[in-house]
Amino acid sequence: MKTLKIHPVSMTLLWEMRGCWGGELEYTIEQFGLMMPLFKTPLTITPPSTEEGQWYLNAEDRNALNLDNFSTFSDALLYHLVQDAKLLSWNTHEERGGEPLILHFGEVYFEF
């Protein structure tokens, strides 16, 4: 029985001079049908230097929830952004021209 759902609500990213996206992820957590309030977590997403390279997402569970699955969630979220939804590509920052990238997730959730 799956008891934990993480619902990403939105993500705001801004390209930083150090070569990565920096921003904030807003999400809620549902456990046994009970929704917790909105959480905000700072994150960085580092793109590969080439199209075939490895992506990295660094987000910490700073809300003291001690979620065992938070790293699994962040890995799945990155896969969703890059592979499934194709919202990020290795050169997205060049296409944006310094504008923030704001993503809204709608009904997407990750179940653990």
Provide the token pair at 57. Answer: 């997402």
Q: Where are the domains of the chain?
A: 4-111
pLDDT at position 26 is: 94
Could you report how far apart the first and last alpha carbons of the chain are, in Å? Answer: 9
Q: Would you mind telling me the total number of residues written for the chain in this entry?
A: 112
Q: Helices in 9-111 by DSSP H: which ranges?
A: 70-79, 92-96
Is 20 within 8 Å of 45 (Cβ atoms)? yes
How confident is the model at residue 105, as a pLDDT?
Answer: 92
From first to last of its 112 residues, the chain has per-residue pLDDT tens of: 567 899 999 999 998 888 889 999 999 999 888 999 999 999 999 988 777 888 999 887 666 566 777 888 888 999 988 888 788 876 777 777 778 889 999 998 999 8
Q: Do residues 10 and 105 make contact, with C-beta atoms less than 8 angstroms apart?
A: yes
